[in-house]
Amino acid sequence: MVAVERKPVGLVMSLHLDRALSQQYGVALYHKKPVSYVMDPEPLIIDGETPVEMVAGMAMSREKIKIYDHIIVTEQTLLTGIVSVQELLLTLAAMQNKRTMELVEMTGQLQKEVEDRQKAEHALLKSKKATEYMHQQLAKAYDRLREVDKMKTDFLSTVSHELRTPLTSVLGFAEMVQLKLEEVIFPKMDPEDKKAQRAINTVSRNVAIIHKESRRLTALINDVLDIAKMEAGKIEWKSLPLAVPEICRQAADATMALFARKHLQLRMEVQRDLPELLGDPDRLVQVVINLLSNAVKFTDAGHVTLRARLDKGMIRVDVQDTGMGIRPEDKDKVFEKFKQVGDTLTDKPTGTGLGLTICKQIVEHHGGAIWVESEPGQGATFSFTLPLEGHNQPKIKKYNLDDVLKRIHDHIRHSPQGPDGDEKLVLVVDDDESIREYMRQLLEENNYQVMEAEDGLQALELLQTHRPALVILDVQMPHMTGLDVAAAMKKNPALAYIPIVIHSVEGNMEEGYKIGVDRYFTKPVMQKVFLQEVSELVAARPSNKKIMVVDESAAKVQAFSQVLTTQGYTVIEAMNVEACCRLAEQEKPVIIVVNALLARRHDLVKTLRFEKGLEGIYFILIGEARKAALPGQEAHRPGVQA
């Protein structure tokens, strides 16, 4: 390498020098000549940072004679060294070889990874198929369990239904026997005949036991049917304004006999100003009765406390007893179906074990929660909550619905009769001969004439030639159901006015009322209540069954309408005076239930009676004291006080 002041100016390769000197006269030719005569004035000069591969490429791109010439390396144009192309190529070859080996090794690893991945995918696919198979088996098992559970529910429902029919006969005839013995036979017995008196006492006790146990069996069957209907989603829920203090009072009244029998005290700690909410009052009364009954069952001494109060934006109800308490391991079981806590050999729990399960279903339907707190030997506290928010609870001024209904029933009972017919003739339709015989005896004992039909088709045939004052229908019958018979009657103008009572083990009340059924009784019935309703319906002819409800509050109108509809009345709704006057002229209701302030503000009674010519309408005013009756209202039947 030739350099001037460390700056390269050329390159002399020994190969080039040998070639120059070996030619003819070469030694003489170049004798004492400067080296520049044999140097390459344009050598390949590179920077020291140039990559090896690039240098090799630059070297190999030169003309053939210079391919293997050394390469000069500089840094900032100053000489730093030379590179042998041969060494460079050997180094590059070694690097490429190493890289090739690395690539071969990497390729082997990748191949192994591919194989491993293929094995994993195969195992995953196999696992996926196994999982899908397991899912299919689980789905089949779940469907089977659901099918078995449905079969169980259907079986319980069917058995309960089948039990109810003969139970109705047993209970009904037992009540009739007891009544006949007490009113007819026993009074004629010689009071001095001790043997006869002992027989009377024995028979009385035995009949009372039959009656009591029949009622208990009815309650057990009702529990089974309730849980079956709840699980099937067939329960019929009401949505009415209700007051929890009134719920507590009704439950307390219903269980007073239980407390008296065990000499226990019931303490009431109920906040009186609790806000109203919407719900099913009958079902909530059932909850509190169940909790009170349980408390009495497991309490031998002391007292039971019933509390109701506001708690964290909810209404909370507690039933606390001083009984035996519940073991910690049993707390989670008390709300399970068919579970009863305690030692069944010593505690002798009675019932189906469904009471608390039903309570849980009812409370949760209302958006609440139910739980128990207890320690063994320290009593138990069952609590449930009912939310006030999130359920569209309107603030409804409470009216005495019972008073309104009583006045409606009283008015209709004393109203003139409607279309001609056999005023005391009742058609009983039931495929069970014992039920028909029971109904015949019960009704004939109360001065009704009875006509029987064993199925729906026979009933419709009899109705072509007879016009009874009332038709009593079973639902489940061959050929034609009772609801089908009711629908056929309502579609026939000649029969549509006849009141219909459903008396059945099947409790589809909502469908019945939509058809136009007047009353719906589930077997077995309370004779006194049944006969009272029959009497009212026989007295209430079709012209007496139209009732108008007038109020500017849609919630109040809805509440009254729902109650009246379930009583078998045809309800006409009006939200203002204009609608009231128009509908009253069109529909001609026999009774108008109206807000007193609204009626007074628009002089509604005078307008309808004297200007519209509707003198026969009976008004029931709600929302003011009875002394403030409006002009034209009957003095002996004043408005209802709210």
Q: Which pLDDT belongs to residue 343?
A: 43
Q: Where are the alpha helices (DSSP H) in 414-553?
A: 433-445, 456-463, 482-491, 509-515, 527-539
Residue 439: pLDDT band with limits 50, 70, 90: very high
Q: Which pLDDT belongs to residue 396?
A: 45
Q: HEC states along 403-450?
A: HHHHHHHHHHHCCCCCCCCEEEEEEEECCCHHHHHHHHHHHHHCCCEE
Edge-first strand order for the sheet with 45-47 is 45-47, 71-75, 78-83
CA 244/CA 314 separation, integer angstroms = 12
Q: Which pLDDT belongs to residue 419?
A: 46
Greater confidence (36 vs 397) lies with 36
| Alpha carbon 60 to its chain's center | 87
Q: Which pLDDT belongs to residue 288?
A: 93
Q: What is the mean pLDDT of residues 594-618?
A: 83
Q: What is the mean pLDDT of residues 601-617?
A: 81
Residue 634 has pLDDT above 70, yes or no: no
pLDDT tens-place string over residues 458-497: 999 999 888 899 999 998 888 899 999 998 988 887 787 7
Residue 203 has pLDDT above 50, yes or no: yes
CA 150/CA 233 separation, integer angstroms = 12
pLDDT tens-place string over residues 547-573: 899 988 888 888 788 777 766 678 899
Greater confidence (76 vs 465) lies with 465
* Residue 322 phi, psi dihedral angles, 5° rounding: -115, 35
The answer as to CATH 3.30.200.20 being correct for domain 240-343+350-387 is no
Residue 409 has pLDDT above 60, yes or no: yes
541: its two tokens: 């002819």
Cα-based distances in Å from 397 to 92, 253, 489, 559: 100, 25, 39, 11
Please state which of the ranges 80-94, 340-354, 501-515 shows the lowest mean pLDDT.
340-354
- Return the sign of the alpha-carbon dihedral for residues 243, 247, 248, 249: positive
Q: Which pLDDT belongs to residue 26?
A: 56
Residue 29: pLDDT band with limits 50, 70, 90: low
Residue 590: pLDDT band with limits 50, 70, 90: confident
Residue 116 has pLDDT above 80, yes or no: yes
For 469, counting Cβ atoms within 10 Å of its Cβ (0-12 exposed, 13-18 middle, 19+ buried), the class is buried
For 429, counting Cβ atoms within 10 Å of its Cβ (0-12 exposed, 13-18 middle, 19+ buried), the class is buried
Please state which of the ranges 39-53, 117-131, 327-341, 586-600 shows the lowest mean pLDDT.
327-341
The torsion defined by the Cα of 186, 188, 193 and 196, in degrees rounded to 10, comes to -40
CA 259/CA 304 separation, integer angstroms = 9
CA 423/CA 470 separation, integer angstroms = 9
Cα-based distances in Å from 593 to 382, 399, 501, 554, 639: 41, 12, 25, 14, 9
DSSP SS3 for 311: strand
Q: Which pLDDT belongs to residue 238?
A: 78
CA 629/CA 621 separation, integer angstroms = 8
Please list the residues that pair with 306 across neighbouring strands.
268, 319
DSSP code for 35: G
Residue 378: pLDDT band with limits 50, 70, 90: confident
Highest mean pLDDT: which range of 69-78, 82-91, 119-128, 531-540: 119-128
Q: Which pLDDT belongs to residue 31?
A: 61
Q: What percent of the chain has pLDDT over 70?
A: 80
Mean pLDDT of the chain: 79
CA 191/CA 210 separation, integer angstroms = 25
Q: Looking at the whole model, is its pTM more than 0.75? A: no
CATH architecture of the domain 546-622 equals 3-Layer(aba) Sandwich (3.40)
Q: Which pLDDT belongs to residue 345?
A: 33
* The CATH number of domain 401-413+420-540, selected from 3.40.50.720, 3.40.50.300, 3.40.50.2300, 3.30.420.10: 3.40.50.2300
pLDDT tens-place string over residues 184-200: 888 888 888 888 888 88
CA 198/CA 330 separation, integer angstroms = 47
DSSP SS3 for 594: strand
Residue 270 has pLDDT above 50, yes or no: yes
| Backbone dihedral region for residue 594 (phi beyond 0: left; psi -120 to 50: alpha; all else: beta) | beta
Q: Which pLDDT belongs to residue 455?
A: 92
Q: How big, in percent rounded to 5, are the helix, strand and coil portions of the chain?
A: 50, 20, 30
Is residue 387 within 8 Å of 314, Cβ to Cβ?
yes
CA 122/CA 443 separation, integer angstroms = 80
Q: Which pLDDT belongs to residue 584?
A: 86
Residue 97: pLDDT band with limits 50, 70, 90: confident
Q: What percent of the chain has pLDDT over 90?
A: 16
Greater confidence (40 vs 395) lies with 40
610: its two tokens: 């004297």
CA 550/CA 577 separation, integer angstroms = 8
Q: What is the mean pLDDT of residues 176-187?
A: 83
Q: What is the mean pLDDT of residues 354-362?
A: 83
Q: What is the mean pLDDT of residues 324-344?
A: 69
Residue 347 has pLDDT above 50, yes or no: no
DSSP code for 184: I
Residue 207 has pLDDT above 60, yes or no: yes
Residue 418 has pLDDT above 60, yes or no: no
Is residue 547 within 8 Å of 584, Cβ to Cβ?
no
Greater confidence (640 vs 83) lies with 83
Q: Which pLDDT belongs to residue 565?
A: 75
Peptide bond just before 416 cis, omega within 30 deg = no
Residue 611: pLDDT band with limits 50, 70, 90: confident
